[in-house]
Amino acid sequence: MIRPATPDDLPLIRELWLAFEHEVQEPEWRDGYTDDLDARVRDDIVLLAVEDDVLVGLAVAAKAGERVGFLSTLYVRPEARRNGVAAELVREVAARLGALGVEVLELDVLASNTAARGVYEAWGFSPVEQTLATPLDGIEQRIVPHRAGATFGSIHVQTDDAGAVEREVHKMLPRLGQTAGTSVTGPRNGWVVVHDELCDRQPPLLQRLAQEISYALAAVVLTIGIEEGTVVRYNLWDRGSDVDEYLSVPEYYGELPPGDVIALGANPTVVARLTGANPDEVRRIARTAATPAELPPAAELLEAIAAVIGVAEADHGWVAS
């Protein structure tokens, strides 16, 4: 039987409330709050489930807005579960809130409480927003300014023929909307370097130019740089095909499927085959992480990766001569 609570029920309500607080097992840093049960019984919806004159369940709810109700507590004693008691409590809560003009019922549930989440989702509840938390201790080291720094990159063509690279670059740039602000230097250590004022700041344009150079010259081409002052990206092209892509924080721009996260890690075998780099060093240096704070600063990481691959002038963008 489901019935509304009365002031005479307060001792039993507090007993159920404490059992609920104990079972929920809030994180250790989060203090369990004490509800003003007297006021709740007087002003809100407090329902009790009774079986054979024994109090077995509790629901506490209230109107939280013009069309929104909030279910703050739903608890059934373990020995009375799997008998539909919780469902009956929620049905009665919904009926009483509906009579008050409520159209939507909300509730909070801990992310760790997978059993409760499964039940609520089966009843038609779905996530609306998430509350995230982190300890303050060490937060300064974990927080890195996001999308606030400089973006720059460079193109490195594996050839000693700087003239051929320059001719191709100047043929292609007008198609990309760029006609000035380009430098071609080298060769140095078997690589010719291309910096372009526009492409250096726009990774998609940089990659498009690199792909066309790689295709036109049937060459190995590397694009490498820093994005938003925070993450390092490189793409390795071979005869126009993008054969390896690396992003130091694969999910920096948003959540990805697990396979895509793995794909954005360095492929030491491919890098070694195309550039002559030591694969063990590539594996050691070109690491990925879930957050930028878990890696060296972007400038330091960029310099280390460029050194392993053997390219120069990767640690700065285009500078007017």
Least confident of 115-119, 151-155, 278-282: 115-119
User: pLDDT tens digits, residue range 224-239?
Assistant: 999 999 999 999 999 9
62 half-sphere exposure, CB direction, 13 A CA radius: 12
Nearest CA to 288 out of 234, 237, 243, 241 is that of 234
Q: Which CATH superfamily groups domain 2-122?
A: Gcn5-related N-acetyltransferase (GNAT) (3.40.630.30)
| Residue 317 confidence (pLDDT) above 70 | no
Q: Is 110 helix (H, G, I), strand (E, B) or coil?
A: coil
Given a cut of 80, is residue 37 above it in pLDDT? Answer: no
Tally helices (H) and strands (E) across the chain: 11, 11
Render pLDDT for 173-194 as a digit per residue (tens, 0 to 9).
766 555 457 889 889 999 999 9
Interstrand relation of 104-107 and 68-76 (parallel, antiparallel or unpaired): parallel
pLDDT at 175: 60
224 forms beta bridges with 154, 234
Predicted pLDDT at 319: 47
pLDDT (0 to 100) of residue 93 = 94
Residue 36's Cβ-count burial label (10 Å; 0-12, 13-18, 19+) is: exposed
Q: What is the pLDDT of residue 252?
A: 93
8 A C-beta contact, residue 110 and residue 78? no
Helix spans in the chain (H): 10-24, 37-43, 85-98, 114-122, 139-142, 162-172, 203-217, 258-263, 268-275, 279-285, 298-309
Q: Where are the domains of the chain?
A: 2-122, 152-309
Determine if the peptide bond prior to 135 is cis (ω within 30°). Answer: no
- Flag whether pLDDT at 155 surpasses 70: yes
**189, 185, 190, 195: which is closest to 162 by C-alpha?**
185
Residues 237-271: tens digit of each pLDDT: 999 999 999 999 999 999 999 999 999 999 999 99
> Mean per-residue pLDDT for 137-142?
68
Strand partners, 167: none
Cβ atoms within 10 Å, residue 56: 19
Highest mean pLDDT among 20-24, 48-52, 143-147, 271-275: 271-275
Q: In the predicted model, is pLDDT for residue 320 greater than 50?
A: no
**High-pLDDT (> 90) share of the chain, %:** 55
Angle formed by the axes of helices 203-217 and 162-172, nearest 10°: 120
Query: Cα separations (Å) of 150 from 58, 145, 275?
Result: 56, 12, 27
Query: Is the model's pLDDT at 38 over the cut of 80?
Result: no
Read off the pLDDT of residues 72-122 as tens digits, 9 standing for 90 and up: 889 899 888 888 999 999 999 999 999 999 999 999 888 878 888 889 999
